[in-house]
Amino acid sequence: MIEITEALSKKDLKAFVKFPFQLYKDSPYWVPPIIKQELETFNKDKNPIFKDAEARFFLAYKDGKLVGRVAAIINWLEIKGQGLKKMRFGWFDFIDDKAVSKALLEKIEDIGRANNLEYAEGPVGFSNLDKVGVMTEGFDKIAPMITWYNHPYYVAHYEAHGFTPEKHYSESRFPFANVKPEAFKKAQELIKRRYGLKALTFTKTEDVMPYADQMFDLFNESYSSLSSFVAITDDQKAYFKEKFIKFVNPEYINFVTDKEDKLIGFAIVMPFFAHALQKAKGKLFPFGFTHILNAKKNSKDVVFYLIGIHPEYQNKGVHAVIFNEYYETFTKKGIQMCYRTPELEDNEAIHKIWKHFSPEIYKRRKTFRKTL
């Protein structure tokens, strides 16, 4: 018999966060989160997303043993601002037992109907900066820290319970050796002169912070045309600055400003923390932070986390300015492999940016949808 309980206490939430450690204990490809940070994500007093969204966390037990989990999420900014009556769900993990996944999904569907929502979609997080999608290809490749990993059987569970594919994402990578500077070197000089642009680079995190709010505003502008985009609020900006910026090597943050010093382009690259997080095993102390600091300084692989260009400057080659700065930095640091985060397969604009580097798609993922 399957029993579904809501995780309300600190003990229950910790069990929610730690369940994948049990499910993937033998996987060389799964990358554990930092338990403390994951708990803070779900803390209604610390995560400002809860000012505009609500979430409930559920655990599935079979014969007294924890066998699954799911987060039920309602983002009211999305519903009221875009008119999308969507029931979100994420952090969805389960053993290979369709009765377990069905019981968890039925809880999602019940909450959606109770709130007069029209459909459920997942796995997704609270916002566009959270993880997204269930993996459908690439199970034998290690997962970056900014994506979910899952067993191959997950897809069959979605399909068995009446869910159909909604959005399609791909993840690509390319050796840094594929980057030929002649593809952007001359172009970026012409573009800077033509539009009066300037590249900003950094060596200290504190020098980045005065531009961080502008960066998130630009993120909102440059991604607003994508499906299901939910803008970052002012409260969330402060939260994401604390959560993300400190983990980024400041040399891996590049901005482009116009002649009035207004930010019109940005890119954030993360060190490849996956192997360090596997060594940390979910804990910063006593030794986890040393693995992470070492990766931050010395990782020879990087992940292109975010790149955004103001709509007025899209298709004008501004990305060449950004790539030129990264080429100089990556050459000095001996970077070997570049990874990209999940990108919508119908986002032609972003795919054109990378075409000169001959990227290889090494993972695919989807979100699934069901009418309520």
| pLDDT per position as a tens digit, 327-348 | 999 999 999 999 999 999 987 7
The verdict on 206 and 283 lying in the same domain is yes
Percent of the chain clearing pLDDT 70 (strictly above): 99
Q: How confident is the model at residue 84 (pLDDT cuts 50, 70, 90)?
A: confident
Q: Where among 109, 133, 168 does a domain terminate? A: 168
**Domain identity same for 27 and 52:** yes
Residues 183 and 161 in one domain: no
* Cα 26 to Cα 210, 334, 363, distances in angstroms: 43, 32, 20
Question: Does residue 63 sit in the same domain as residue 137?
Answer: yes
CATH assignment of the domain containing 158: 3.40.630.30
> Is residue 339, in this structure, part of any structural domain at all?
yes
Query: What tokens were used for 37?
Result: 């940070």
Most confident of 7-16, 128-137, 224-233: 7-16
Please report the sign of the dihedral spanned by the C-alpha atoms of residue 120, residue 124, residue 126, residue 127: negative
pLDDT exceeds cutoff 80 at 253: yes
- Return the closest-CA partner of residue 75 out of 133, 9, 124, 131: 124
Is 371 inside any structural domain? no
- pLDDT computed for residue 227 by the predictor: 63
Better pLDDT: 128 or 302: 302
How many C-alpha atoms does 277 have within 13 Å on its Cβ side?
23
* CB-CB contact of 119 with 108 (8 Å): no
Q: How far apart are CA 324 and CA 183, in angstroms?
A: 10
In this structure, the answer to whether residues 184 and 298 fall within a common structural domain is yes
Residue 226 pLDDT > 80: no
Q: Could you tell me which of 352, 257, 355 has the C-alpha nearest to residue 313?
A: 257
Q: Is the pLDDT of residue 204 over 70?
A: yes
The kind and range of the H/E element at 174 are strand 164-175
Q: Is there a single domain that holds both residue 145 and residue 161?
A: yes
pLDDT digits (tens, 9 = 90+) for 136-161: 999 999 988 889 999 999 999 999 99
- Residue from 128, 52, 133 nearest 92 by CA: 133
Both 26 and 156 in one domain: the answer is yes
Residue finishing a domain among 168, 187, 211: 168
pLDDT tier, 82 (very low <50, low <70, confident <90, very high otherwise):
confident
Note down the domain range covering 312: 175-366
| Mean residue pLDDT across the chain | 93
Q: Does the pLDDT at position 228 exceed 70? A: no
Angle CA 270–276–279, to nearest 5: 160
The residue type found at 162 is: G
The least confident of 90-99, 116-125, 278-287 is: 278-287
> Is 163 in the same domain as 98?
yes
Residue type, 284: L
Amino acid at the residue 164: T
Q: Are residues 85 and 197 in the same domain?
A: no
Q: Averaging pLDDT over each range in 61-70, 182-191, 204-213, which range is the top one? A: 61-70
> Does residue 322 register a pLDDT over 90?
yes
pLDDT tens per residue, range 263-294? 999 999 999 999 999 999 999 888 888 999 99
What is the DSSP pairing of strand 253-257 with strand 263-271? antiparallel
| Residue 344 within any structural domain of the chain | yes
Asked if 161 and 285 sit in the same domain, the reply is no
Tokens of 53: 């969204």
Distance CA 146, CA 160 (A): 28
Q: Is 14 inside any structural domain?
A: yes
Return the minimum-mean-pLDDT range out of 53-57, 60-64, 227-231: 227-231
> How far is it, in rounded angstroms, from Cα 149 to Cα 210?
35
- Positive/negative CA dihedral, 240, 249, 221, 356: negative
